[in-house]
Chains A and B, each alone.
Chain A
């Protein structure tokens, strides 16, 4: 499956690169399409997975596209299976630093479990776009900082 993407320069750009994806059998793409536009309007470089990729394909796209964030959307109740799988494959493929955020119809009890498995945000219906955009901006920044400090530590730079 090839992604339907808006190509943008990978290097030298400070823009957030984000993959919006629906991992699984779920054609409800209204929210995902709205998010693609909203992220783009917010100045991010947006790649959309298109419909029906497997979790593994989503992880591969994220690696191939060298994204900072993967935004997962599911409205079919499969988030507890599909979201953690994306995280698992990301780790396997060397993308453990990629921020993974989730959204859809996610009950509170699932939210805390997803959070523990590394899926952040887990936004429900009616969430303002601004809330999601701000969350991503802050968390990508934090992650990039931790990443840099970890590298610095490794290299013995203080």
Chain B
């Protein structure tokens, strides 16, 4: 084995399995071991012989075989020093803050966007009125790929999967009447993340909010785009360079802005297991740490602004274990490998979205239950913010009625269940602690493998990460086909006829309207100022040492459209073709 940090960690984890925590005395552990063996022989065997178990083998959603019962002997009695910590204490397994939800509840942040900026603006205001505590914007496909609403490539897609934003003018409409000093905004956008950040900053400025005060998150995580969601504009190196520019610029000028949200959500939705989601997301995170270091930044200056974004699917305990393992790994690696000193660099703070893939088109009301279970797991896993999917989302973007139920689901968990009264209430569960260790180990095995492949970018170019996900996804599909994995309403408990539900429809005439508005904007602009700003942007893109954010902000303020800005990049950097996957 190569002598690397990851290989050494794997060695330590092996060692952990052999040695039970020394806080427990050997005599009582031996007594427990004997007792378990006795129970198996005297009680269990007899019982099973009369009443057999339903399956020969029980596995979790990632295919990890599960024992029927876990005891201290399995989880080794996690050490508070190395593995647990108290909440707000290294390695933060039990939570990033000392008092967690006894202080502040998680942010209820519903991912919203459809149609025009006006339509989405109304939806945002509705959600705020109904008690949502943070904004989260979903953009349509053309915006995500960096095309304007009037582009040929946008045909049939404007406003369909999210809100269409082509210029600062649209962004002004989107946030009209919403005071940005009172609410934080998360924007799910990656390839054009810098452009949208500049638009947000420009809107803030018009509302009298200086850059220094802007609060929110932009996703920006391009690595997972190449791995899973596949929404890129340029080759990876070009996007990474712009992310470097954002890191440097935001670290200096936007202290409350999370300029990156390192995301496992899409990796999971593309078919990955929970362990793969955990491993690939954190591996991406470490790559961004390296990127910042290479740009000459001190880790403790820029890593505290990192945020994370995970999926939460149906295997309840596995998800909770994943969140706990994620916190522990991040803190440990930041401390040991990257020598971070600032406690904020060690904190893995994350947003969760319940699983879109787990929603079924069949018997859609059942999705309310699925989402509730997933949301509960996210809360028990210590999430900082949460989006709950609506029951109709396997059909279309959610209606107001469906999104209200989804928001209420969070409010019911927060106000009625009492799970918020105690921090990490499942901590110490033999099963959960064992599973947390198991997830941790699987993640380190992937880190080691990715390292051997030359890092995340190289693993992407070899198609390794994409193929790992595709393999898992194919396996899951086959398990559903052959009934090994049950999905209620899809391969079990079917109804004769599916009753249609009311679902949201986006007006196809929208593209025309948006195009007319864009044309008017194009005529109104100060052409000289516009041309000059795009020219400056081109020069910045072509100079690898330059920082492109300041000039991009100037271009946005001169009402250059999203596509005009992205086209400058397409010309400077070219496009991207992914490796052969099928």
By a beta-carbon cutoff of 8 Å, the part of chain A in contact with chain B is 4, 20, 24-30, 32-34, 36-38, 46, 48, 50-52, 54, 76-78, 80-82, 105, 107-108, 124-126, 128-130
Contact = CB atoms under 8 A, between A and B. Distances in A.
A122 B194 CA distance: 38
Given A36-B582, A124-B361, A25 B477 contact: no
Interface in B148-170: 153-157, 160-161
Given A33-B473, A108-B500, A80 B578 contact: no
A91 B156 CA distance: 21
A37 B475 CA distance: 11
Given A76-B160, A77-B160, A82-B156, A129 B394 contact: no
A85 to B, nearest CB: 8
B473 A25 contact: no
A33 B475 CA distance: 12
Contact of B153 (A4, A25, A37): A25
Contacts of A80: 156, 508
Contact of A125 (B154, B157, B361, B481): B361
B360 A78 contact: no
A78 to B, nearest CB: 4
B161 A33 contact: no
Contact of B157 (A4, A36, A37, A78): A78
Contact of A77 (B270, B362, B506, B578): B506
A32 B581 CA distance: 11
A74 to B, nearest CB: 9
A126 B360 contact: yes
Most A C-beta atoms less than 10 A away, residue of B161, B360, B395, B582: B582
A4 B582 contact: yes
A80 to B, nearest CB: 7
Most B C-beta atoms less than 10 A away, residue of A25, A28, A46, A50: A25
Contacts of A48: 581-582
A43 B436 CA distance: 42
Contacts of A77: 156-157, 160-161, 396, 506
A42 to B, nearest CB: 12
Nearest to B487: A126
B434 interface: no
A130 B481 contact: yes
Most A C-beta atoms less than 10 A away, residue of B147, B489, B490: B490
Contacts of B491: 128
Given A78-B156, A126-B490, 18 more contacts: A4-B581, A20-B582, A24-B157, A27-B229, A29-B581, A33-B470, A33-B474, A38-B474, A38-B477, A52-B145, A76-B141, A81-B156, A81-B508, A82-B156, A105-B394, A108-B500, A124-B361, A125-B361
18 contacts: A4-B582, A25-B153, A28-B230, A29-B581, A30-B269, A30-B473, A46-B582, A50-B577, A78-B141, A78-B155, A81-B508, A107-B395, A107-B505, A125-B360, A126-B361, A126-B362, A126-B489, A130-B481
B503 interface: yes
Given A30-B473, A33-B470, A25 B157 contact: yes
Contacts of B470: 30, 33-34, 37
Contact of A25 (B154, B490, B506): B154
B569 interface: no
B582 A33 contact: yes
Contacts of B474: 33-34, 37-38
Given A30-B271, A80-B508, A105-B395, A37 B156 contact: no
For the side of the interface on B, what is the size category?
Answer: 35 or more
B77 to A, nearest CB: 40
Nearest to A129: B481
Most B C-beta atoms less than 10 A away, residue of A77, A108, A124, A130: A77
Contacts of B382: none
Nearest to B152: A54
Given A30-B270, A129-B481, A37 B582 contact: yes
A124 B396 CA distance: 12
Given A37-B474, A126-B360, A51 B500 contact: no
B76 interface: no
A34 B503 CA distance: 27
Contacts of A38: 474, 477
Contacts of B503: 107
Contacts of B153: 25, 54
Interface string B394-408: 111000000000000
B231 interface: yes
A36 B364 CA distance: 28
B91 interface: no
A1 B401 CA distance: 43
B145 A25 contact: yes
Contacts of A82: 156
B69 interface: no
A127 B269 CA distance: 18
Contacts of B271: 30, 34
Interface string B261-299: 000000001110000000000000000000000000000
A34 B160 CA distance: 24
Contacts of B144: 25
B142 interface: yes
Contact of A129 (B142, B477, B489, B508): B477
Most B C-beta atoms less than 10 A away, residue of A27, A52, A107: A27
Contacts of B473: 30, 33-34
A96 to B, nearest CB: 22
A26 B141 contact: yes
B48 interface: no
Contacts of B509: none
B57 interface: no
A76 B503 CA distance: 15
B580 interface: yes
A108 B156 CA distance: 18
A128 B361 contact: no
A134 B481 CA distance: 14
A25 B160 CA distance: 11
B353 to A, nearest CB: 15
Contacts of B361: 105, 124-126
A128 B581 contact: no
